[in-house]
Amino acid sequence: MTTMISLNLDEKIAMHYATQASYSSQQGVFEAIGPEDVATLIYTSGTGGTPKGVMLTHRNLLHQINNLWDIVPAVPGDRFLSMLPPWHAYERSTEYFIFTHGIQQVYTTVKHLKADLQHHQPHYIISVPLVYETLYSSIQRQISASPPARKTVALALIKISLLFMEAKKIYEGTVLSNSPVKPSFIFYMFNYLRARIVAALLWPLHNLAKMLVYKKIHSSIGISKAGISGGGSLPMHVDKFFEAIGIKVQNGYGLTETSPVVAARRPFCNVLGTVGHPIKHTEIKIVDIETGEVLPDGSKGIVKIKGLPVMKGYYKNPSATNKALDLEGWFNTGDIGWIAPHHATGPSRKCGGMLVLEGRAKDTIVLTTGENVEPAELEEAASRSSLIDQIMVIGQ
């Protein structure tokens, strides 16, 4: 069953002020609710497996409402399709944002997703990576079931579009790199000119693919503006595929403890492989997993977050709170990542300051040689095979 909800701004304001007071039985009066008062408790298992109540304040949630527009510049009348449970922090903050901006919300389920995409033709879809993987697999199955000639042409055109996008990223400056060393001017210009030539040669075939193949895919999926992915790692081959066929997917990052969004790819700078820049009033730093020292851009370490979206703490659990939050207010995410170095010129000139995630610290496999191996990278590469449905890499 599909449900649609749309609140205008006046209704939202009325709801807001209707909840601005709470009755105190001790004093017998109404007390105003402050920004630092707890708005909700959301229980999460975190990395330890023991459920912990995350105390999110009104300031935390209002931060999301006020700043998510930079990621999703939606306008009144836009239609969002969502299938996440409403108690999920990602879904909850999204709904607050949607209702504040007068946007239509359509709820669906896995069972009705395909039909609802075709029927409602949403401007945006808010979901987890699994949904985009499912859509990708569905498209691949449809192509495979096509007559041999049509299948061959479709697969060839998709490969051409992938090559076109790779060349395009080189001269646009959106090629991700963790090297702090800027390439020489001669080397950069050679690659820039080569990319320009390759893109120019492939552009007619890419446009042909739009008319023959991608137009049909767009009509069946909808998503006229963007798909917003969060709550997990988006496989690179899925990310590249949607970019090639002209469906924008913006990957984001956050945790229940951070209300949840702390970083996301912007529509005007959608660099694949990253989770984008931090949103406003949010700081991110990378520290050494052993010493806790701040690492330079391009170096891999533990991701720490500070700012308005960070929780007040864990409910009645001071030991867990003190372990996650230091005295300066930095929250230890337990995730491993690095920040893309800034380059004034070169193929990575637009990537500076973007966050790249590599996996969870607790999942890192340390070899006898001392080398650290992130299983997520191996799992993502192996999952591209049609012979593998699920995979988990383990080691000692």
Instruction: Please name every residue paired with 87 in a beta bridge, in sequence order, or none if there are none.
Output: none
295 has pLDDT over 90: yes
Return the pLDDT at 48.
Answer: 54
Q: Which two tokens stand for residue 18?
A: 């209707």
Chain segment 302-326, per-residue pLDDT in tens:
999 999 999 999 999 999 999 999 9
Return the pLDDT at 231.
Answer: 84
Residue pair 52/314 in contact (Cβ under 8 Å)? The answer is yes
Q: Which two tokens stand for residue 4?
A: 């649609």
34 has pLDDT over 60: yes
- Show me where the domains of the chain are located: 3-359, 364-396
DSSP conformation letters of 188-248: HHHHHHHHHHHHHHHHHHHHHHIIIIIHHHHHHH--SSEEEE-SSPPPHHHHHHHHHTT--
3-359: CATH topology: Rossmann fold (3.40.50)
Return the pLDDT at 276.
Answer: 97
Mean pLDDT of the chain: 89
396 has pLDDT over 70: no
Return the pLDDT at 298.
Answer: 96
Residue pair 321/379 in contact (Cβ under 8 Å)? The answer is no
Band of the pLDDT at 103, cuts 50, 70, 90?
Answer: very high
The larger pLDDT score, comparing residue 45 to residue 103, is at: 103
Return the pLDDT at 389.
Answer: 83
365 has pLDDT over 90: no
Return the pLDDT at 49.
Answer: 63
Alpha carbon of residue 59 to chain centroid = 22
Is the sign of the CA dihedral 178, 255, 288, 380 positive or negative? negative
Q: Which two tokens stand for residue 285?
A: 């730093």
Return the pLDDT at 195.
Answer: 97
204 has pLDDT over 70: yes
Band of the pLDDT at 370, cuts 50, 70, 90?
Answer: low
The larger pLDDT score, comparing residue 77 to residue 379, is at: 77
**What angle, 0 to 180 degrees and rounded to 10, lies between the N-to-C axes of helices 113-120 and 129-144?**
90
Chain segment 120-164, per-residue pLDDT in tens:
999 999 999 999 999 999 999 999 999 999 999 999 999 999 999
pTM of the model: 0.85
Average pLDDT over residues 233-241: 93
